[in-house]
C-alpha cells in the first residue's frame, strides 16, 4: 500500500542563500500514484525529494510550511521511503555487493531466510550478473546506480523516490531498469516519484506530471519558470496543450520526442596534429586483478571530439582517467605528442607533476563533488587559470564569461556543494574548461541538464573544439556526441563508429582500436 504525499506551503532555503531552493509548494499526491517530476536545472527537484524522504538536515537550511507522508511528517527511521540519489557513490555502504543490497532489508527486520533470495532477485532485475561477494569498489558508476536500485527493490518500500535513476545507465539498459522499477511499484502499490530529464522513457508509464518552475519569472524566450508548481496533470494533458508546451519549452523542459541534436557539428575535412595516442593500452582501477579494458589503440588530434561509449562496466571511466594521466597504464602506453608534450621531460602524462598536468589535460569526473576545492563558485572557476599563471584581469574576464555561458551568474558566491546536481555538473565542466587545456577529458558531462543548459554546454564544447583543443567524452548521451561531431569508440563490443561509418572489428571483448580491417557500413 502506497503513501499519500502532501505539501502545504512548503519551501526550503539553504543557509547561505537569500532565495528558497524550492517552493513555496502546495501538492497532493495520492497513495499509489506514479509521478514524473520535471523542472529546469536548479528548480529544486532534488531538494524536494530529500524533503519528502526526511533527509534535509535542520542545520543546513530553513524550512517553511510542511510535508506529510500519510498524514505524518517524514521520518527515515520508519523505513517507508526508498530513495535513489543522483550520486550513486553516496549510497554504496559496504565493500561487497550482496551486503549492500541486504543492508536496507536488515534495518527493516526482514527475516534472514528471505534476505538471500531477495538479493539475487533484485540484482537480476537490475541486470547485475555479479556474485554476492563482488567488491563494490570495482563497480562502474552505472553499476553503482543499478546496485542502489537493487537495494531499494529488495526493501519493497511504500514510497519510491528516484532522482535521475537512469542517468548513468547505458541506453540499451534503461528500459529494462525502468520496467523493473515499474514491476516493483505494480506489485506493492507503492507511490512513485521520479525525477528524470528523459521524458520519453517515462511518459507512457506515469499517472501524473508535475513541473516545478525555476528561479525568477518567465520573461521572453530566454526566461525561466516562476517559483512553485508550473503545471500538474496527466501527461497527455500537460504536453498536449500547445500554449503550455511553449511555456515548458522556454523553461528548458525536454518535450516528448524532442531530445535530438540541434545542428550537429560537421566533421572537419582535416584535423590538427596528433596530440595524444595509446599503444595497445590496458586500463584498470587501483588494486584490480584484471583489466577493465584492453588492447586499445587510439589517436586523438587537436580540435577533435572523441566519444567513448559502451555498456556499464565496459571500462569507460577507467579509460578516461588513464587518458587524463590520473591512473597508470597496466599495459601499453598513453603518449603525449606535439604541443601537448612541449617542454616535458616524459612523454607519458601519468609521469607529469600535477602543476604540469592540470593546465594541459583537464579531467571532469563522473561525480562532480569529488573535484571541488574552493568555497565559492567563482573561486572554483578562477582556480585553474590562476594555477596556470594567468593575469588577474584575464582570470576575472574568463570567470565572468563562464558564469554567463552556463547560467550560474546568480550563484557566483554560493558554495559549490550547495548547488543542484545539474548546476554542480555545469560548474565541474566549466572549472576544467577555464584554463583552456589542450585536451579536455569529461565523464558524462550532460547529466542533470534541462534543454537550455544542455544546449549551453554543447555551445561551450564547440567553442573548445574550434579553438583547437581536443575533447574526449565518456557519454551515454548520443545526442550530445552527435552535436559536437564526435568520433565514437565503443568499449565492451568490437566496434568503432566514425562519422556515419561504423567499423566492426573481428575481435570480441573490449574494442577501441583504430581500424585494422573488418567491415565498414
Sign of torsion, CA 429 431 432 438? positive
Q: Name, of 130-134, 164-168, 227-231, 482-486, the range with top average pLDDT.
A: 482-486
Over residues 491-517, the pLDDT tens digits come to 985 443 433 333 333 222 333 333 322
What local confidence, expressed as pLDDT, does residue 497 receive? Answer: 40
What local confidence, expressed as pLDDT, does residue 518 receive? Answer: 27
C-alpha cell at 286: 587501483
pTM over 0.85: no
Interacting residues of 158 by C-beta distance below 8 A, sequence separation 6+ = 1, 2, 3, 70, 80, 81, 188, 190, 191
What local confidence, expressed as pLDDT, does residue 25 receive? Answer: 92
Q: Is 325 helix (H, G, I), strand (E, B) or coil?
A: coil
Confidence of residue 95 (pLDDT cuts 50, 70, 90): confident
CA angle 406, 411, 414 (to 5 degrees): 135
CA distance 278 to 513: 9
Q: Is 2 helix (H, G, I), strand (E, B) or coil?
A: coil
Task: Kindly report the average pLDDT of the chain as a whole number.
Answer: 85
Residue 209 · residue 226 · CB < 8 Å: no
What local confidence, expressed as pLDDT, does residue 275 receive? Answer: 97
Place of cell 577555464: 434
Strand partners, 416: none
Confidence of residue 271 (pLDDT cuts 50, 70, 90): confident
Over residues 405-451, the pLDDT tens digits come to 888 888 899 889 888 888 898 999 999 999 999 999 999 999 888 89
What local confidence, expressed as pLDDT, does residue 216 receive? Answer: 44
In terms of DSSP bridges, do strands 208-212 and 61-69 run parallel, antiparallel, or are they unpaired?
A: unpaired
**Domains (range + CATH), the chain:** 1-33+42-79+159-164+199-259 (no CATH), 269-360+441-521 (3.40.50.300), 364-436 (no CATH)
Q: Measuring CA to CA, how many Å separate 105 from each of 97, 113, 210, 373, 512?
A: 14, 11, 31, 37, 41
Residue 86 or residue 393, greater confidence: 393
Interacting residues of 413 by C-beta distance below 8 A, sequence separation 6+ = 376, 377, 378
Interacting residues of 303 by C-beta distance below 8 A, sequence separation 6+ = 268, 271, 272, 465, 466, 468, 469, 470
Confidence of residue 371 (pLDDT cuts 50, 70, 90): confident
Residue 204 · residue 34 · CB < 8 Å: no
Nearest alpha carbon to residue 378 among 413, 417, 430: 413
C-alpha cell at 516: 585494422
> 259 pLDDT exceeds 80?
no
Amino acid at each position: 500500500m502506497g503513501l499519500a504525499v502532501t505539501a502545504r506551503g512548503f519551501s526550503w532555503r539553504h543557509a547561505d542563500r537569500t532565495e528558497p531552493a524550492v517552493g513555496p509548494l502546495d501538492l497532493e499526491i495520492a497513495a499509489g500514484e506514479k509521478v514524473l517530476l520535471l523542472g529546469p536545472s536548479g528548480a529544486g527537484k532534488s531538494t524536494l525529494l530529500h524533503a519528502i524522504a526526511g533527509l534535509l538536515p535542520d542545520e543546513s537550511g530553513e524550512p517553511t510550511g510542511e510535508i506529510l507522508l500519510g498524514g505524518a511528517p517524514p521520518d527515515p527511521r520508519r523505513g517507508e521511503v526508498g530513495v535513489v540519489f543522483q550520486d550513486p557513490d553516496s549510497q554504496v555502504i559496504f565493500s561487497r555487493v550482496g551486503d549492500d543490497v541486504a543492508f536496507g532489508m536488515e534495518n527493516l527486520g526482514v527475516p534472514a531466510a528471505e534476505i538471500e533470495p531477495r538479493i539475487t532477485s533484485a540484482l537480476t532485475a537490475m541486470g547485475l550478473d555479479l556474485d554476492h561477494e563482488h567488491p563494490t569498489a570495482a563497480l562502474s558508476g552505472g553499476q553503482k546506480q543499478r546496485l542502489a536500485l537493487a537495494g531499494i527493490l529488495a526493501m519493497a518500500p511504500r514510497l519510491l523516490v528516484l532522482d535521475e535513476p537512469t542517468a548513468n545507465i547505458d541506453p540499451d539498459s534503461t528500459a529494462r531498469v525502468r520496467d523493473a522499477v515499474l514491476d516493483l511499484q505494480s506489485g506493492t502499490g507503492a507511490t512513485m516519484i521520479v525525477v528524470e530529464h528523459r521524458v520519453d522513457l517515462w511518459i507512457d508509464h506515469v499517472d501524473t506530471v508535475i513541473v516545478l518552475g525555476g528561479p525568477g519569472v518567465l520573461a521572453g524566450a530566454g526566461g525561466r519558470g516562476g517559483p512553485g508548481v508550473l503545471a500538474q496533470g496527466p501527461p497527455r494533458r500537460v504536453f498536449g496543450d500547445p500554449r503550455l508546451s511553449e511555456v515548458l519549452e522556454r523553461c528548458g523542459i525536454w518535450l516528448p520526442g524532442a531530445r535530438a541534436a540541434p545542428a550537429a557539428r560537421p566533421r572537419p575535412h582535416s584535423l590538427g596534429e596528433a596530440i595524444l595516442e595509446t599503444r595497445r593500452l590496458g586500463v584498470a582501477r587501483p588494486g584490480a586483478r584484471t583489466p577493465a579494458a584492453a588492447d586499445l589503440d587510439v589517436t586523438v588530434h587537436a580540435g577533435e571530439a572523441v566519444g567513448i561509449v559502451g555498456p556499464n562496466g565496459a571500462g569507460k571511466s577507467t579509460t578516461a582517467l588513464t587518458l587524463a594521466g590520473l591512473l597508470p597504464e597496466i599495459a601499453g602506453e598513453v603518449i603525449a605528442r606535439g604541443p601537448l608534450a612541449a617542454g616535458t621531460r616524459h612523454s607519458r602524462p601519468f609521469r607529469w607533476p600535477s602543476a604540469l598536468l592540470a593546465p594541459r589535460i583537464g579531467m571532469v569526473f563522473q561525480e562532480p563533488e569529488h573535484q571541488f576545492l574552493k568555497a565559492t563558485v567563482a573561486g572554483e572557476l578562477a582556480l585553474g587559470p590562476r594555477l596556470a599563471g594567468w593575469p588577474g584581469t584575464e582570470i576575472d574576464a574568463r570567470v565572468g564569461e563562464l558564469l554567463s555561458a552556463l547560467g550560474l551568474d546568480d550563484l557566483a558566491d554560493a558554495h559549490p556543494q550547495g548547488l543542484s546536481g545539474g548546476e554542480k555538473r555545469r560548474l565541474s565542466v566549466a572549472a576544467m574548461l577555464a584554463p583552456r587545456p589542450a585536451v579536455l577529458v569529461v565523464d558524462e558531462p550532460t547529466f542533470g541538464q534541462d534543454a537550455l543548459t544542455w544546449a549551453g554546454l554543447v555551445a561551450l564544447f564547440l567553442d573548445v573544439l574550434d579553438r583547437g583543443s581536443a575533447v574526449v567524452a565518456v557519454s551515454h548521451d548520443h545526442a550530445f556526441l552527435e552535436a559536437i561531431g564526435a568520433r565514437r569508440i565503443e568499449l565492451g563490443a568490437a566496434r568503432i563508429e566514425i562519422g556515419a561509418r561504423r567499423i566492426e572489428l573481428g575481435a570480441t571483448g573490449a574494442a577501441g582500436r583504430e581500424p585494422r580491417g573488418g567491415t565498414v557500413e
